[in-house]
Chains A and B, each alone.
Chain A
Amino acid sequence: MDLFNPGFWTFVAVIAGIYGIMALGLYVQFSLAGLPNFGHVAFMAVAAYAMAILVVRYEVPLALAALGGLAAAVVLAVVMGVPALRLRADYLAIATIAGSEIIRYLVMSLPELTGGAIGSMGLLGPGEIALYNQDWQAFRDAIAGLVTPLLGAAPSHDEVTMALVWALLIGLIALFWRLERSPWGRVLKGIREDDTAVAAVGKNVVHFKMQALIIGAILGGLAGLLLAWQIGVFSPDDYQPTLTFYAYLILILGGVNRIWAIPVGAVLFSLLYTGTRFLNFFPLSLFDPGERAFLRLFLVGLLLVLFMALRPEGAFGDRRQLMLEK
């Protein structure tokens, strides 16, 4: 099987990096500012759809279309944030769930705009296969061409993407590691612990929460774009609500308030997630491969429960800094 195939593991590493960026967005919202966002996947889906539509229908250059995708994610964050951020935390949780469901229903029920259940391939209507990916592939090939003399051999597509995604993830984590220790980051943590106290010293709590929500949305949108480019064509199924909870699990696996543990969580999660496909020994061999997909999701649920029960602060978390007890 593909257990010893380096190409397969490169693909896993790409996905792990993308999930890491997705989880970083949730980190800013949830771990820093204490905003329980249960609709993170909506930012990813909106960004991916906006980008694909701009490229396919309006022939916008990919870089501009990517910016357009991120802008769409920001708009969604504002629309969800304006009603919900003034309220108690549980209302934000429900509003984000509702927001992400609206997006999913709209995507499914407006096939003229989104391609419906077929996904990005159907963007130009039936009979024509829409592709948004040529510029990305060209960009990847250009990078591969640049580094070939240095490496002595041409890297594969996935290897280039892996390097790009992980460089981006590490860079972003370094940036937010610094921001967390800036006055801005301290205000957000203050809001997480006690927003009344922060309001009492003259900070505009709603503005700071909105900033955290928007930044998280941009990071989520970025992850959505990268996922769309990596998989080449996407359908609504690629942006299922469960993705949001993968992001939570990644944060929890690494440590809810340890920003440097996000890559660890992302790798652990991806190993777990892809690893279950190698569980083909007895008694698990009784399940056929299709059933093992359900078994995998079952294990994700079990891990979520076990971690919340036994180590709610995550593998490297700090119990004293735990805002989950609120």
Chain B
Amino acid sequence: MLEQLAQLTVNGLITGTILALTAVGATLVFGIQRIANLAHGEFLTFAAYVALLLNVFCGLNLFVATAGAMLGTAALAVLLHFIVLKPLSNRGLVATCLITVGLGLMLRDVIFLVAGPEVRKFDLDQTIVYDLGLIRISPGQAVAMTITVVVAPLVAYFLARTTLGKSMRAVSDNRDLAAVSGIDVERIGTYVWLLAGALAGIGGVMFAVVQGTFDPNLGFYVLFLVFTTVVLGGIGSAFGALTAGFVLGLVMELSTWSGLFGGLAPKFKPVLAFVALILLLLYRPQGLFGKARVL
């Protein structure tokens, strides 16, 4: 039972990292650009397929492939920003939502057309199991854990200590105040897409690795978990999203622990997340860490 707990904690941390990284991007995009980017899930899918191309067809190491996926997805996000979203930025919240829905449909179906609907997997031997005493992890989980340990603290450091990270949080918090303090809001608006794309790049590859296999619907299915994380952390709050991702990941995995009243059937994990969201909207709509004035 203790072993199961340790195992679930590891799984929860991995899921938590994926949610945290992608949600940081999504929430900053929302805070800075006022765009609820419903194409964010397709960024994850795109990243997974870029990594697939590099890993399986070019024979590169999975870590190199992940770096490539980050670059590719960041480039895609900035491209969409300059070609579509920036020229249409005066359209209002709902209209922009619908535009991102359209972009998401286009992206997903282009991936379907180019890569085909068949189920794919990375060049990883899924049969090996590393036994670490209390827990056993697959090579996929090992890759995901490595990325977790390296990237999550880096992102936290970036947001807390660097000028660019601080500027992003400032613009997300209060655009006008940030602008009069001398922050170039336009420039930050471009950088946030770079950051969101790169983080979605990592998130997408990690999702695909943890799942083992994936198809072009990969990102679409997790988009709503990402948005749950965004709301849970308080819309627009980067640290909120980072924490909420880990909370949600751990809660979802640990709810299945058999020591906890026999545990929840695993298939109800996403339902649990959404029930949490509804309760949150009822009692604490500004998110776990948000300030009431956000409303």
Residue numbers of A with Cβ under 8 A of B are: 30, 36, 38, 79-80, 82-84, 86-91, 93-95, 97-99, 101-102, 105-106, 108-109, 242, 245, 248, 252, 287, 290-291, 294-295, 297-298, 300-305, 308-309, 312, 324-326
Contacts and interface: CB of A to CB of B under 8 A. Distances in A.
B94 to A, nearest CB: 5
Contacts of B278: 79-80, 83, 95, 98-99
Q: B-side binding surface: helix, strand, loop or mixed?
A: helix
B109 A93 contact: no
Contacts of B113: 287, 291, 294-295, 298
A36 B94 contact: yes
B235 A90 contact: yes
Contact of A298 (B94, B95, B106, B282): B106
A95 B152 CA distance: 28
B275 interface: yes
A305 B224 contact: no
A90 B101 contact: no
B92 A97 contact: no
Contacts of A97: 224, 227
Given A298-B110, A298-B113, A301-B106, A312 B95 contact: yes
Interface string B224-248: 1001100100010000000000000
Interface residues of B, number: 44
Contact of A245 (B88, B96, B105, B112): B105
Interface string B256-295: 0000000001011011001101100110010000000001
B103 A94 contact: no
Contact of A83 (B88, B112, B281): B281
A101 B274 contact: yes
B91 A325 contact: yes
Interface in B75-112: 84, 87-88, 90-99, 101-106, 108-110, 112
Contacts of A83: 278, 281-282, 285
B91 A87 contact: no
B36 interface: yes
Contact of A294 (B96, B104, B109): B109
Contact of A102 (B36, B96, B105, B275): B275
A228 to B, nearest CB: 24
A302 B271 contact: no
Contacts of B282: 82-83
A87 B101 contact: no
A236 B59 CA distance: 38
A245 B95 CA distance: 12
Given A99-B278, A109-B268, A300-B105, A94 B36 contact: yes
B102 A302 contact: yes
Given A94-B227, A95-B277, A308 B267 contact: no
Contacts of B90: 325
Contacts of B108: 297
B98 A326 contact: no
18 contacts: A87-B281, A87-B285, A87-B295, A89-B93, A90-B235, A91-B285, A105-B267, A245-B105, A248-B98, A298-B106, A303-B102, A304-B102, A304-B105, A305-B99, A308-B88, A308-B99, A309-B99, A324-B94
B112 A294 contact: yes
Given A38-B97, A90-B235, 14 more contacts: A36-B94, A89-B94, A90-B93, A91-B281, A98-B228, A108-B267, A109-B271, A245-B101, A294-B109, A294-B112, A301-B106, A304-B102, A309-B99, A324-B91
